């Protein structure tokens, strides 16, 4: 049965265990689960584009009405779906051509969301390479929130208060995540160091982000008065951040955090023991875009997202045979486990 505890015990690396991942990889390849799903992505991207256009048209049609604010809800959901496609392009899941994947990432990230695809890919790929590793995974670095008692002990002033209450503040803080992602993207594009690293590619990133903001402001300005436009933007960005954060929050928080010993784990153990799946369900799969199959995604980051659920039975069976804990739980319990862990991190400060 799947393990639903907050943090499964770590089987320590066994001597001369060989490449545990290779047999599983052969099985997955034999099933064709790494093959591109071009048709699925073409339809999905087209439907998302049509839906975004329909919401924009509805905003203009509502005109000077407070009902226009209700459209921020579907726009936030569609923005999250746009982010999923940008995420997949960054993992080279959509096309076999690197150039096509990069173009899709620029369109969905920079142009449609105002987020730098280069910044996201760099950060996200470092997370995938060493999930939950304090020194190497940017997602568990010390920031507004902290993830270990050592990090918590260094907190002072307002930051100390935040850490004491971070479990209670987590979801409210997610309302700011959409804005934080955009600020980080603009900062990276605007830095001198960034220009030195990327050259002309950074110009493309900056131009597309600028076009996003010009288009976004123009749409809001044409659709509604200034005050209502500001309220619409705040609702849209808050719900967008909450949606994205709610997708990624349950995946690793409260799972194993490798130290220097963990660096000797093979790919299979490194990805399985640090990740948690959220049990499938029609609504859950839609809301999380299929990324609730986080173990499979981490084992096979280039696997097309719609194939992850098909890979799950093979991966779960293989982990059972290898004696590895395979963490899977329901959506609500996944949040409970993550919040319980965050609360425990700040216990000493209380």
C-alpha distances in angstroms, 153 versus 143, 145, 159, 316?
13, 12, 11, 38
With bands split at pLDDT 50, 70 and 90, how would you rate the model's confidence at 188?
confident
Widest Cα–Cα separation across the chain:
70
Q: Average of pLDDT values for 257-265?
A: 69
Token pair belonging to 47:
């439907």
Rounded to two decimals, what is the model's pTM?
0.89
Task: Tell me how far apart the alpha carbons of residues 258 and 7 are, in angstroms, rounded to a whole number.
Answer: 12
Q: Is 30 exposed, middle or buried (0-12, 13-18, 19+ CB in 10 A)?
A: exposed
pLDDT digits (tens, 9 = 90+) for 71-91: 999 999 999 999 999 999 999
Task: Tell me how far apart the alpha carbons of residues 5 and 329 are, in angstroms, rounded to a whole number.
Answer: 8
- DSSP summary character for residue 10: P
**pLDDT score at 350:** 80
pLDDT digits (tens, 9 = 90+) for 139-152: 998 889 999 999 99
């Amino acid at each position: 049965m799947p393990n639903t505890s907050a943090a499964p015990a770590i089987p320590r690396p066994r001597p001369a265990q060989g490449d545990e991942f290779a047999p599983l990889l052969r099985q997955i390849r034999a099933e064709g689960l790494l093959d591109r799903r071009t048709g699925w992505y073409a339809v999905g991207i087209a439907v998302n584009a049509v839906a975004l256009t329909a919401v924009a048209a509805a905003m203009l049609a509502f005109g000077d009405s407070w009902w226009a604010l209700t459209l921020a809800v579907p726009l936030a959901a569609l923005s999250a779906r746009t982010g999923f496609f940008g995420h997949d392009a960054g993992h080279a899941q959509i096309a076999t051509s690197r150039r096509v994947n990069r173009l899709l990432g620029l369109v969905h990230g920079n142009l449609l969301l105002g987020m730098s695809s280069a910044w996201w890919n760099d950060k996200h790929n470092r997370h995938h390479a060493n999930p939950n590793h304090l020194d190497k995974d940017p997602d568990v670095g010390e920031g507004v929130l902290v993830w270990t008692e050592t990090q918590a002990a260094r907190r002072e002033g307002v930051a100390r208060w935040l850490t004491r209450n971070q479990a209670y503040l987590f979801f409210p803080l997610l309302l700011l995540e959409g804005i934080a992602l955009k600020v980080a993207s603009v900062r990276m594009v605007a830095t001198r160091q960034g220009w030195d690293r990327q050259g002309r590619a950074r110009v493309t990133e900056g131009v597309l982000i600028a076009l996003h903001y010009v288009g976004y402001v123009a749409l809001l300005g044409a659709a509604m008065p200034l005050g209502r436009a500001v309220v619409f933007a705040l609702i849209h960005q808050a719900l967008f951040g909450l949606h994205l954060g709610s997708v990624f929050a349950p995946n690793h928080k409260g799972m194993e955090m490798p130290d220097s010993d963990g660096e000797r784990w093979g790919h299979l153990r490194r990805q399985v023991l640090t990740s948690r799946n959220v049990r499938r369900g029609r609504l859950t799969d839609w809301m999380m875009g299929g990324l609730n199959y986080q173990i499979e995604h981490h084992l096979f980051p280039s696997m097309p997202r719609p194939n992850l659920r098909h890979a799950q039975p093979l991966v779960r069976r293989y982990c059972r045979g290898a004696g590895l804990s395979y963490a899977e739980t329901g959506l609500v319990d996944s949040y409970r486990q993550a919040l319980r862990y965050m609360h425990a991190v700040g216990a000493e400060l209380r």
